[in-house]
Amino acid sequence: MAVFKYIAIDNKGMEVNGNVEAENIRIARCLLYKKKLCIIKIKLYSDNSILKFNKSVNKEGLVLITRQMATLVSASMPLDEVMDVIVKQNPNSKLTKVVCEVRKKIIEGYAFSDALSQFPAIFSPIYKSLITAGELSGHLGIALSQLADYIEQKQQLQRKVTQALIYPVILILMSIIVSITLLAFVVPNIIEQFVSSEEELPLSTRVLILISYTVKENLLAASITFFSFGVGINRAFRVSEVSYLWHRYYLKLPILGRLSLALNMSRYLRTLSILISNGVPLVKSMNVSSALISNYYLKEKLLISTRLVCEGCSLSFSLERCRVLSPMIVHMITSGERSGKLNSMLERVSLIQEDELTVRINFFIALLEPVIILFMASFIFFIILAIIQPIIEINNLII
């Protein structure tokens, strides 16, 4: 996505300016025409720009500023004054420039949600949807407070997953580095004295020599091959059909597939819960929640469930047809619909999904660590055996 800066005339004859995000300038023009704007000038926005700035914003700063806005708005302070206070409280924050731009838009007459939509890489669809719901209901402060909680919980979940996977990843990388170092540099020096011997070497030693020679002689070629393979895979995944097929297969994997499903559905249900509790219509809530799903195959299933709801089906029935949730969770959602407490029930099932995710992560790590350690121990044992066997045979000949 690129960001385009525009100057246009609205249907009231007033000059307006802003930013629009689109894949190219043609699509950007179409988006502006749909808003009934007469374009005077449009160009790619490329100075030390919002586009580059957006990518460097951390979520912790966004949580802090959102909480500050919630407190000030709840105290009935006007939005432009709220922005002034936030800029003064966070003079060195990377978000300060964005807050200043939002304040300008509000002074120009933009609604708060429309002002935030100028920065789509910072303020996600759920952020804008909740702000819109808060504006319509008159409970903007509550919506901002819930947004801060939501972003914080999402960060905690991502941090939990990352921290859990750090040790296994480091273990795998160290295993690869140690294996290559032994085979390419250490083993050849030890084996040289056996190669010059006229005696027939044991099978394990011959296999080790073959592996070591192959690694040493083809290390550069193998590195280039693996790098090229990685680049090719990365480019292939940019094709939507390839990504869709891979994501469909990935969900069928015994451990990783279930882990991915639990992570995505936890995110989906949590988002759906917070949107519905703030008065966002069910269909729009489902669309916004589906946009957060990283697995294309799962996202398509959830969009199908959204279409079923549009056709008049209940949420529980549409999710049951998609077969992405356990029968227990579907039953809980059904109970929430019948009792009129859908939002609280969705919050409960999202917590259940998060607990399931934690259990699956712990199980995955508990299974992976012994496998890696066993592999490395077996590999080192094989090297030691391949080196010791010819030494023992030579000693036997001498005796």
Cα–Cα distance between 243 and 237 in angstroms, integer?
5
User: Would residue 110 count as lying in a domain?
Assistant: yes
pLDDT at residue number 398: 60
List the one residue out of 99, 93, 92 whose CA is nearest residue 115.
99
Looking at residue 196, its pLDDT comes to: 63
Contact 346, 280 (CB under 8 A): no
- What pLDDT sits at residue 198? 62
> In this structure, are residues 131 and 140 in contact, taking their beta carbons and an 8 Å threshold?
yes
* pLDDT of 57: 63
Tokens standing for residue 44: 């790619």
Q: Which two tokens stand for residue 369?
A: 């660590």
Together in a domain, 32 and 78: no
174 domain residue, yes or no: no
One-character DSSP codes across 11-42: TTS-EEEEEEEESSHHHHHHHHHHTT-EEEEE
User: In this structure, is residue 34 part of a structural domain?
Assistant: yes
Shared domain for 252 and 358, answered yes or no, is: yes
Query: Is 167 contained in some domain?
Result: no
Asked if 65 contacts 95 with a C-beta cutoff of 8 angstroms, the reply is yes
Distance CA 115, CA 106 (A): 7
Instruction: Tell me the β-bridge partners of 42.
Output: 6
Given 100, 128, 154, the domain boundary residue is: 154
pLDDT of residue 92: 61
Q: In this structure, are 123 and 18 located in the same domain?
A: no
Q: Indicate whether 119 and 19 sit together in one domain.
A: no
Q: Which pLDDT does position 170 carry in this prediction?
A: 85
Nearest CA to 209 among 189, 227, 235? 189
Q: What is the pTM of this model?
A: 0.65
- Pair 64, 42 in one domain: no
Per-residue pLDDT tens listing for the chain (399 residues): 567 788 888 777 777 888 777 767 778 888 888 888 878 788 776 444 444 444 556 777 888 888 888 888 888 888 888 888 888 887 666 778 888 888 888 887 888 888 887 787 788 878 888 888 888 778 888 888 888 888 888 788 778 778 777 877 888 888 888 877 877 777 777 777 666 666 677 788 788 888 777 777 777 777 788 778 777 777 766 666 777 888 888 888 887 888 888 888 888 888 888 888 878 888 888 888 888 788 888 888 898 898 998 888 888 899 888 888 888 888 988 998 888 888 888 888 888 888 888 888 888 888 888 888 888 888 888 888 887 887 777 666 665
Query: In the structure encoding, which two tokens stand for residue 363, read together?
Result: 């199980």
* pLDDT for the residue 254: 81
CATH number at residue 105: 1.20.81.30
Identify residue 153 by its one-letter amino acid code.
Q
Question: What does the DSSP 8-state code read for residue 200?
Answer: P
Is 378 inside any structural domain?
Answer: no
> Residue 25: what pLDDT?
76
Query: Which one, of 142, 112, 383, 366, lies nearest residue 259 by Cα?
Result: 366
Same structural domain, 122 and 41: no
Is residue 370 domain-resident? no
- Identify each DSSP E strand in the chain by its residue range: 2-9, 15-22, 38-44
The answer to whether residues 282 and 337 belong to one domain is: yes
| Helix or strand run (H / E) with residue 279 | none
Q: 202 in a domain, yes or no?
A: no
Confidence (pLDDT) at 91: 67
Do residue 15 and residue 119 come from a single domain? no
Q: Which residue has 């500050």 as its token pair?
A: 68
Looking at the fold, whether 252 and 345 belong to one and the same domain comes out as yes
Last residue of a domain, one of 134, 154, 174: 154
Local structure of 48: helix, strand or coil: coil
Report the 10 Å Cβ neighbour count for 323. Answer: 10
Identify the domain boundary among 154, 176, 195: 154
- What is the extent of the structural domain holding 18? 2-46
In a domain, 131, yes or no: yes
Based on the domain organization, do 265 and 358 belong to the same domain?
Answer: yes
In the chain, count of helices (H) and strands (E)?
Answer: 18, 3
312 SS3 class: coil
Taking alpha carbons only, the member of 49, 43, 53 closest to residue 5 is 43
Q: Count up the domains in the chain and report the number.
A: 3
